[in-house]
Structure 1
């Protein structure tokens, strides 16, 4: 009867509303937590700048010297942050106003893709944290040990399928303030690092990485355990792929028909991402390590250069001038 249908409809709407409210509440709590984490990180950085020697003993290796455990905790952070990115954020990130549409308010009403941005910021934070950890120690031997440790963490990330943390660590190691530490690098066994760099080599449109990602995706599909299901893509490249697919292909064909092939490909990429982000992290949480990774001081580029020059002095006039100007700030 009509009454029964109405009751069913009302029940369905009520359930949807409750689900939406729950989702929005969780999102709100997550965004509040991010604000607190960022505030704590900023406070710790300020404290470190005020008293550099007071915090110098506290580094990643003193918190945890097991690369596998650190890689697991990085995977926790990655999967948690991924889980909050909705498919609509991809649309909002790339939406363009139709040039034929005269409604000028078209873009301004869109919700900012804040969770997507927060995830990109996490990648940057991890890169700068790795660079900070390497540049901070006074002794060359300690710096070399930190580099080797992060190489091992990166390798464990690769084995887990956590390509985003892997790339962030490699990016941190390739920053100029780190790469210029030639005396330090001379003490490092770089064979493992060379292999990882080869895997993430950007040439041929990241061919090696894409091959590894396909392998991880295949493993995930046939997985027997939750560990094997983990696929965390190099996120900036995923965004770039989706962006170029969206921008590079017309929405309509020359005959005026909708370009279904484009939208099918977009849907496929976003759907794949949605599958990856639903995976629950199987590793045990270590609050101490997580707290450190999220809030430990991470220097900006100038502070990194300053720490780098203090670790290994300037080698040429350009570096000497830069060092002088940084010390005057």
Structure 2
């Protein structure tokens, strides 16, 4: 896979555009507009409790329409998630003023606001489906709404602490804007109050006395403290922002740095080129995120606030240390840059910039002999860290391969003049897979007679690695048994139809020779796959599904019937030890979680496509979470006997508790949400027979999924867990998306590096979770079928079918 393509970013394409959230609103309005045109017959005046509800729609009809017109929306729960997003945006309005979209006979109306975005990409009628696909990317990020709706009024004891934590996460730019607004509002309120209490003469004297009074925050004053801002505002002090409205008393230093100097102490340094800011640095304490009084001079350092990509890279190289270990701040800056550089520059841009720094000539004509190899070693150190961080991600990028070959040739030429580069040369030989000490190619003037062998070895190494990656690449594929139930199979891309059929036959307990794999297209055409066919290449075409059919004596293909499928269902899970089952779930989730590259979260957040070749592993884990949730509901609702159904619910509660004990919060959330789905939670007869201790345990487990206070219960519990641990990935993605949509990527044509630091800091939490490895504990031999059972879950993904099963086993009274 390649990183040469720049991530699609609205700020780069159109500087005047708004944040990515504007695209979501445009997509929502496009969906609303096409619905009002194509489904005008569903918009009617309806009788409501308090009178006539004008031009309203029914929630279940909205879901049905979306499923009918969007083949890529596979189930009702996904369609509900799309309409929920429109409800959150205010495009869809609930007549009952409910916060949650209901797939029932609930009334909804549409807002009348039109899209005012000048560069709306969904303006044309035929683009509305692309808007729905964009909204589908945000559906997994929507927090679980188990207790989010109709929350009772309650006193929040941690309100002050929560506010402080939220304010601490704001960037300095946001803090300044927030403080200025608070100061302005408080000052207007105070003046209005004085006008009411004082006579005109007193008011005139007061205004004269206050004229010209100016308060400037000193460096020791923390602008993030709301108490300080409120105090200044009540005293009617005009609020001054040092980097925008400060009087013209800054000095132009020889290195062209504009320095803001309150009380002769530097707090902000702005490097300029042609009267334009190219780098903004802020002075902070080495031990805290903001300056504090009483620190020694050597405890202060400058951090990057914003800048051009080239200047940020230059500052990073100047900050690197070669002989001593990197300090924490420099190491963090390096990691922030490498994790997020794809947001503001391509891989080719970075390669060219590094080559310029490596081959740069001294501008003044004289340079200390020690400075030249030092600069080259810093560039090589950065390249080494870059390739180490990205590992397999960069092996398919043509720009990087050419860059590594070019800089390797330069090192070979320079090592004779600067023997200190010998260590870096060995590192590059390891990177390129070349184990010879001084291998050169045709461009080196020193060893031309070895050129052909080196070029062949290098090419062979890259091709060999690329082939290995493709052969071992695994994906999930769904093999449908009936129209609404399927087996989830994790298999290699190169798997044949016979290999997949063998797994499915074992799962559904049928003889392999009696089954056949059939690809059914969207139009209803059927194509039987031969045993040696590459199943995935043919079955993964757009709008097609892969079914398993039975063969009769005449080799006629017959699909499985829904009723027959239910009758053959056996509750095998009751005979499996709950700890072993939870352990197998954890091992499988860990293999998926451990394969996720940190860059996948960056691509998922910034890329408009949201998924694709750069987010394969992340998408697999998100899909797994959804399948485990459906698996819980499927197993319970396919059990027609009440006593066994009670045992199943008890077993899933215990499995959820074991997953929590094994620090697998991804499956833990999925199981709890599966037990809380509407089709399962409505089984009153089943829940009434659950013993009290299991109900109490489930209530305790459910409290961890409480979304109030930004999932405080989950965050506190997860923070206390030691690594290795598996987080609830949709919530981690929500955190990254919140930072992205709440902060601009570019400020005055400069990269907002504070925002990228916050995103990188959140993404780095993956490393803490993967500091150690899970002990490869193997389930007992008597449960040898456990691994294929967990790896290939059999689920029903149609919410309507699940509701029908729920009403069949426990009809409404």
2:795 and 2:732 map into 1 onto residues whose CA distance is 25
Cross-structure match for 1:37: 490
Equivalent in 258, 282, 285 of residue 778 of structure 2: 285
Q: 1:230 to 1:314 in 2, by over 3 A?
A: same
After superposition, the C-alpha distances for 1:83-125 in whole angstroms (9 at most, x for unaligned) are 111112112212247xxxxxxxxx7997341211111110010
Cross-structure match for 1:264: 757
Cross-structure match for 1:101: none
Cross-structure match for 2:732: 238
1:262 and 1:192 map into 2 onto residues whose CA distance is 40
Map residues 1-329 of structure 1 onto 2, 5 A cutoff: 1-2=415-416, 5=422, 8=426, 11-15=429-433, 25-26=468-469, 28-32=471-475, 36-37=489-490, 44=508, 49=562, 51-53=564-566, 55-62=568-575, 64=576, 66-96=577-607, 111-189=613-691, 190-216=695-721, 220=722, 229-253=723-747, 257-277=750-770, 279-286=772-779, 288-300=785-797, 301-315=799-813
- Please give the TM-score of this superposition, normalised by the length of structure 1: 0.77
After superposition, the C-alpha distances for 1:165-214 in whole angstroms (9 at most, x for unaligned) are 11000110111110110000101131111011111111111110011011
Q: 1:25 to 1:87 in 2, by over 3 A?
A: farther
1:109 and 1:205 map into 2 onto residues whose CA distance is 26
Would you say the 8 A contact 1:124–1:168 is kept in 2?
yes
Cross-structure match for 1:225: none
| Shift, 1:48, TM fit | 7.9
Rg: which structure is higher? 2
| Shift, 1:143, TM fit | 0.8
1:162 and 1:153 map into 2 onto residues whose CA distance is 11
1:28 and 1:305 map into 2 onto residues whose CA distance is 41
* Structure 1 unpaired stretches of 5+: 98-106, 221-228, 316-329
After superposition, the C-alpha distances for 1:265-315 in whole angstroms (9 at most, x for unaligned) are 211221121342464221423452221122232112222222212210134
| Shift, 1:50, TM fit | 6.7
Would you say the 8 A contact 1:164–1:232 is kept in 2?
yes
Q: 1:290 to 1:24 in 2, by over 3 A?
A: farther
Whose relative contact order is higher, 1 or 2, with alpha carbons under 8 Å and at least 6 apart?
1
2:713 and 2:672 map into 1 onto residues whose CA distance is 15
- Counting matched residue pairs gives 292
Q: 1:290 to 1:11 in 2, by over 3 A?
A: same
2:664 and 2:416 map into 1 onto residues whose CA distance is 52
Cross-structure match for 1:326: none
Give the strand-richer structure, 1 or 2: 2
Would you say the 8 A contact 1:92–1:111 is kept in 2?
no
Say which is worse superposed, 288-297 or 5-14, in terms of deviation: 5-14
* Structure 2 unpaired stretches of 5+: 1-414, 435-457, 479-488, 492-499, 509-546, 549-559
Say which is worse superposed, 269-278 or 34-43, in terms of deviation: 34-43
Q: 1:236 to 1:126 in 2, by over 3 A?
A: same
| Shift, 1:29, TM fit | 1.8
Counterpart secondary structure, 1:91: helix
Q: 1:156 to 1:281 in 2, by over 3 A?
A: same
Would you say the 8 A contact 1:163–1:232 is kept in 2?
yes
1:251 and 1:28 map into 2 onto residues whose CA distance is 38
Would you say the 8 A contact 1:136–1:307 is kept in 2?
yes
Q: 1:110 to 1:133 in 2, by over 3 A?
A: closer
